[in-house]
Structure 1
Amino acid sequence: MSGVVGKRPALSWAVNLSVLFLVALWTLPTFGILVSSFRDKDQLAVSGWWTSLTGSERNIVARTDAPEDAVEENGQWVLSGNVFESGSGTAAAFGFSSREPNAFEAGAQAELRDGGVLSVQENGDYRLVYYEQPEGRRGQRIFVASVEPPKFTLENYERVLFSEGIGKSFLNTMTVTIPATVIPILIAAYAAYALSWMQFPGRALLLATVVGLLVVPLQVSLIPLLRLYNEIGVGKSFIGIWLAHTAFGLPLAVYLLRNYISGLPREIIESARVDGASDFEIFGKIILPLSFPALASFAIFQFLWVWNDLLVATVFLGNNEEQLVLTGRLRELLGSRGGNWEILTASAFVAIVVPIIVFFALQRYLVRGLLAGSVKGG
């Protein structure tokens, strides 16, 4: 007995560490997407999100003004300006050759091959001095290693929501997800009550059919169902995808809710019937309030599944620009904007922020509803 007791602390530590690892594994990428979605696109392209609060190193190439713009000062010809387009930044080193772009520290003087002397200050101001009047049409190239302060912006979200079509796809996804979550819950709640507390012929067979439908893959029914929808005129429409998601989600919903509702105290139901309550009154005033944990647990699953769905949306809505959902829009952006990380990260966070809110709002009911629905039954 002492040996078993002695192992419990070690097992507890292992469980706690495993949970922390899983939490970190899920949280860190999400936090990284959030931080990256607010970063400047140039800094995001050259450094990771974990460096967002420190200076970002970049190698830039600037060019001085044309030699004909040189100003004479005390017998010398001078060109001056700033290597940064925005006028702000910090130069750590510079050079005038692509082979040695960081050959000189900021503030040093570099002698050019054609006789000029170049210096670049930390604030980016350059001064190019010629001892004779320079000739040529193009200015001198300057390679600069700069350290830029962290930059955060809302331009990524403005571009994503109003220029890349994410805003329209977000509304389309909400239009699909909310009815596709509410409708199966309402139908399944009524069906679960009937299968639990109402006596009628074929109840056991109907319950067995529901359980059997849990193992039927939805992929085998997509094409036949789409043909049926096209024949009755609801193909490629929101009504069609609502009905499809309702049909695919009903077996699990009925199974979970039936097990939960059948485990409620029989005395409450019988007392209500003795007092003259009808089945609708019992369902609305007793069953639904007591079944909220099970309803919430299924709502989380159904909402997340529909929100993240691509296959069913592609089949029943297609790639119509006016009906394209978020997952379809992200797929297109990956193809056309695969190198624009600021667009992809902002789009990804727009796509996951609603499921995160729904999960944390209802997660306290998740375990309680699933455990009650899985171990109780009659």
Structure 2
Amino acid sequence: MASSSGKSFLGRFGVHIAVFVFVAIWTIPTLGILVSSLRDKDQLIVSGWWTALSTSSQTEAGRLPGASAQIEKDGKFVIEGNIFGDGPARNISAFGIKAQQPTQYEAGTVADLGEGVSLQLNADGSFVMQSPKAFEGDRGQRVYYASSAPPRFTTDNYQTVLFSEGIGRSFINSLTVTIPATIIPILIAAYAAYALAWMRFPGRALLIAVIIGLLVVPLQMSLIPLLKLYNGVGLFFGVPAKTYLGIWLAHTGFGLPFAIYLLRSYIAGLPREIMESARIDGASDFEIFVKIVLPLSFPVLASFAIFQFLWVWNDLLVAMVFLGSGSDQLVLTGKLNALLGSRGGDWEILTTSAFVTIIVPLIVFFSLQRYFVRGLLAGSVKGG
């Protein structure tokens, strides 16, 4: 049954379900990265992030102290202490001395190791090993045990990543690249879009066709010619090849066709009466653009800003070509790629680095998201 707005209940319900599914698909992995980045290293290795609030269980191996730690007590030689040492306490449920039977004995029971040697490993990790003869050798007895620990969270992962792994410097590099590479195309495209929408001059239709054609040009095909052109101009004017200016211009060039197309579609759909009234009142094109078009075009400007920011922030190829791969030039995506090769088993480092990489785009998106859909839909359906 249709409602007064012309939409059936089933249709509205389906839209809500679809939105919920897409939000869940996007949000759940992000939440998983955040939780994993705050978990203790040992717990992160053995269990998924969805178990972060529950007690984690794992089977571990340890080695007791060697003969140098023994003392003689009541005619027997004794080695005692705590298997966790100075590490965090855990609860031991069972232990064993063979890898094939790591939980052969319950915690607190006395295990017979043969030749009169006994071992007692308690639930709190304390142990007592006794022998009628003196222990020999520096390598102590190998012990396997099943332990459980309460949830542990830490910010040490972020301290390691930001101050020890070089992520902090790469974070600044990415901001230095992304902010100007987002603002410059918007400034240029806004002027161009207004001119193509409301100003009449020879070759206007041809320029619009060229811009539409540039939308389908692959980045990889134009990257090398653009680099050669930039190096040639830089050599002529004595400008170094690997500079921030180069990557700003590159991202501006790659982003302008889409920016001009999106903004022109929106600006061309603005009410003609407003423009004509302003011209009758004596306003110039520049005054119309600044005082009327820009305020009305803020939604579509915000939409493109999100697109461009996300594209530049997540870019690796253009950054490697125009900025370089040195420690002082490497952006976040490049640094994270390097960590994947050198720290592939350190999940706490990788998840923390990944969340540091996505936190800024998340802030930008949620700050501008109320304008995103409005500006994008308006730019897609209006034309002139």
Question: Fold match, TM over 0.5?
Answer: yes
Q: In 1, are the aligned partners of 2:196 and 2:208 still within 8 Å (CA)? A: yes
Give the deviation of 1:75 after TM superposition.
3.4
Q: What is residue 112 of structure 1 aligned with on the other side? A: 113
Query: Which shows bigger deviation, 328-337 or 57-66?
Result: 57-66
- 2:331 corresponds to which of 325, 331, 345: 325
User: 1: distance between equivalents of 2:257 and 2:251?
Assistant: 11
User: 2: distance between equivalents of 1:332 and 1:65?
Assistant: 38
Mapping 1:78-157, distance limit 5 Å: 78-86=78-86, 88-130=89-131, 132-137=132-137, 138-157=139-158
User: 2: distance between equivalents of 1:68 and 1:185?
Assistant: 72
User: 1: distance between equivalents of 2:374 and 2:135?
Assistant: 82
User: 1: distance between equivalents of 2:213 and 2:233?
Assistant: 27
Q: Secondary structure at 2:253's aligned position in 1?
A: helix
Q: In 1, are the aligned partners of 2:70 and 2:135 still within 8 Å (CA)? A: no
User: 2: distance between equivalents of 1:78 and 1:209?
Assistant: 86
Q: In 2, are the aligned partners of 1:109 and 1:119 still within 8 Å (CA)? A: yes
TM-score by length of 2: 0.92
User: 1: distance between equivalents of 2:325 and 2:125?
Assistant: 49
Query: Which shows bigger deviation, 333-342 or 58-67?
Result: 58-67
- Distance verdict in 2 for CA 1:93–1:292, change over 3 Å: same
Q: What is residue 382 of structure 2 aligned with on the other side? A: 376
Q: Secondary structure at 1:22's aligned position in 2?
A: helix
Q: What is residue 247 of structure 1 aligned with on the other side? A: 253
Query: Which shows bigger deviation, 313-322 or 340-349?
Result: 313-322
Q: What is residue 290 of structure 2 aligned with on the other side? A: 284
Mapping 1:188-203, distance limit 5 Å: 188-203=189-204
Give the deviation of 1:95 after TM superposition.
1.4
Q: Secondary structure at 1:146's aligned position in 2?
A: strand
- The yes-or-no answer on 1:315 pairing with 2:321 is yes
Query: Which shows bigger deviation, 178-187 or 235-244?
Result: 235-244
Q: What is residue 225 of structure 2 aligned with on the other side? A: 224
Q: What is residue 341 of structure 2 aligned with on the other side? A: 335
Mapping 1:2-41, distance limit 5 Å: 9-41=9-41
Report the AA paired with residue 224 of structure 1: P
User: 1: distance between equivalents of 2:369 and 2:340?
Assistant: 31
Q: Secondary structure at 1:112's aligned position in 2?
A: strand
Q: Flag structure 1 segments of 5+ consecutive residues without an equivalent.
A: none
Query: Which shows bigger deviation, 181-190 or 56-65?
Result: 56-65
Mapping 1:249-288, distance limit 5 Å: 249-288=255-294
Q: Secondary structure at 1:134's aligned position in 2?
A: coil
Give the deviation of 1:225 after TM superposition.
0.9
Give the deviation of 1:8 after TM superposition.
5.0
Report the AA paired with residue 225 of structure 2: P
User: 2: distance between equivalents of 1:85 and 1:218?
Assistant: 56
Q: What is residue 73 of structure 2 aligned with on the other side? A: 73
Report the AA paired with residue 353 of structure 1: I
Mapping 1:352-371, distance limit 5 Å: 352-371=358-377
- Distance verdict in 2 for CA 1:161–1:372, change over 3 Å: same
Paired residue total: 373
Q: Secondary structure at 1:200's aligned position in 2?
A: coil
TM-score by length of 1: 0.93
Give the deviation of 1:319 after TM superposition.
1.5
Q: In 2, are the aligned partners of 1:68 and 1:134 still within 8 Å (CA)? A: no
Q: What is residue 301 of structure 2 aligned with on the other side? A: 295
User: 2: distance between equivalents of 1:251 and 1:274?
Assistant: 32
Give the deviation of 1:242 after TM superposition.
0.8
Give the deviation of 1:320 after TM superposition.
2.2
Give the deviation of 1:250 after TM superposition.
0.8
Identity of aligned residues (%): 64
User: 1: distance between equivalents of 2:29 and 2:85?
Assistant: 33
User: 1: distance between equivalents of 2:11 and 2:201?
Assistant: 50
Q: List per-residue Cα deviations over 1:282-340 (Å, max 9, x = no partner).
A: 11111111100010011111111111111211221221221111111111111111111
Q: List per-residue Cα deviations over 1:87-136 (Å, max 9, x = no partner).
A: 52211111122221211111111111121221111111111233x23231
Q: In 2, are the aligned partners of 1:93 and 1:103 still within 8 Å (CA)? A: yes
Q: List per-residue Cα deviations over 1:217-259 (Å, max 9, x = no partner).
A: 2221111111111112253221111111111111111111111
User: 1: distance between equivalents of 2:63 and 2:260?
Assistant: 70
- Distance verdict in 2 for CA 1:240–1:27, change over 3 Å: same
